[in-house]
Structure 1
Amino acid sequence: MDSAQALAAPALRPCLALSVEVGAPIEVGPSASPLGHGHRRVIPIIGGQVLCEHASGAWSGRVLPGGADFQLIVAGRAARLEARYVIETDAGDRIYVENQALRSGPPELVARLARGEPVDPALIYFRCLPRFETAAPALAWLMERLFVGTGARHPERVALRVFELA
């Protein structure tokens, strides 16, 4: 066990900042999924901006319309989120994103978010685990690392900050 205790803790390296524009929710209604019983919603992703601030090189791009965030709101306190969308860099490279997240807080604040009302992001726990796929050789490192992030839900967009686990 001594060798395991000697291992360094992972560090967080800034990687991406995203502003993901979202449309009006599609209310599916009550659902019993493998994640639990809750209220299912689908949030269309209609665009957005991306800035890479990684040590491998900075780049910018946009979130393409056509993705969605599949939400299951459980017990009025937590939302399990599964977003899928595509980023296109300014160089024309495309990156497929699958992002699992957990957003939770007091029921009254979660209800305000669900209604599209503003809520102070400091009052909501919002963490994510994004995964990336791309055919671009210069961006292959995105598929060779693990990432975590933090987020904030605003009425018409989601702000995300993604970090590489180093």
Structure 2
Amino acid sequence: MSAPSPGAPEAPGLTFLAELSVTVAEPIDVGPTPEGHRRVIPITGGTVSGPVLNGRVLPGGADYQLLRSATLTELDARYVLETDDGERIFVHNTALRHGSARDIELLNSGSAVDPSKIYFRCWPRLTTASPALDWLNTRLMLGTGERLPGRVVIRIFTVD
């Protein structure tokens, strides 16, 4: 990448919103389909912690995965957060996860892989009926992900 040219627009900043530690159950393997290999990963719970959002991940959601190749997985997770104040937030998190064929194979089998070897980026959409959290409905967010045995850690940032 080259340096921006003089007068180029400034890139928007990012502000840390929260870290989600999402616990997951064993994958449900659908198998090879015309679009790719499909898996469904049930979401069983978890925690939310950050400067303005704290609470838990409610059980009942899932991550609908599409293994596009031996090195690329598309993730489409949908679940609900509940804040410590009882407010509920719907999360629709779309992501890309890329790594070597061996590292992706290890991740998919539930083994630990050094996170620095995996490109895991997401663009979560958070929506809510809560008047106190209505600002979430009007913000774009980006995040990083890390797959660990039994859970996924997502760090969400708002785009300034």
Cα distance in 1 for residues equivalent to 2:114 and 2:88: 33
Cα distance in 2 for residues equivalent to 1:18 and 1:155: 15
Cα distance in 1 for residues equivalent to 2:102 and 2:42: 24
Cα distance in 2 for residues equivalent to 1:115 and 1:146: 32
Residue 138 of structure 1: SS of its match in structure 2? coil
Uncovered stretches (5+) of structure 2, i.e. residues with no partner: 1-6
Deviation at 1:133, TM superposition (A): 1.2
- Is 1:65 the counterpart of 2:63? The answer is no
Which residue is equivalent to 2:20?
18
Question: What is the TM-score normalised by the length of structure 1?
Answer: 0.90
Amino acid at match of 1:51: S
- Is 1:46 the counterpart of 2:48? The answer is no
Which residue is equivalent to 2:107?
113
Q: Identity over the aligned pairs, expressed in percent?
A: 53
Residue 105 of structure 2: SS of its match in structure 1? helix
Give the alignment of 1:115-154 within 5 angstroms: 115-154=109-148
Amino acid at match of 1:8: E
Aligned structure 1 segments of 4 or more residues deviating by more than 4 angstroms: none
Deviation at 1:74, TM superposition (A): 1.4
Cα distance in 2 for residues equivalent to 1:67 and 1:82: 11
Deviation at 1:6, TM superposition (A): 4.8
Match of 1:75 among 69, 72, 77: 69
Give the alignment of 1:66-105 within 5 angstroms: 66-105=60-99
Deviation at 1:8, TM superposition (A): 2.4
Aligned residues: 154
Amino acid at match of 1:99: N
Question: What is the TM-score normalised by the length of structure 2?
Answer: 0.93
Uncovered stretches (5+) of structure 1, i.e. residues with no partner: none
Residue 110 of structure 1: SS of its match in structure 2? helix
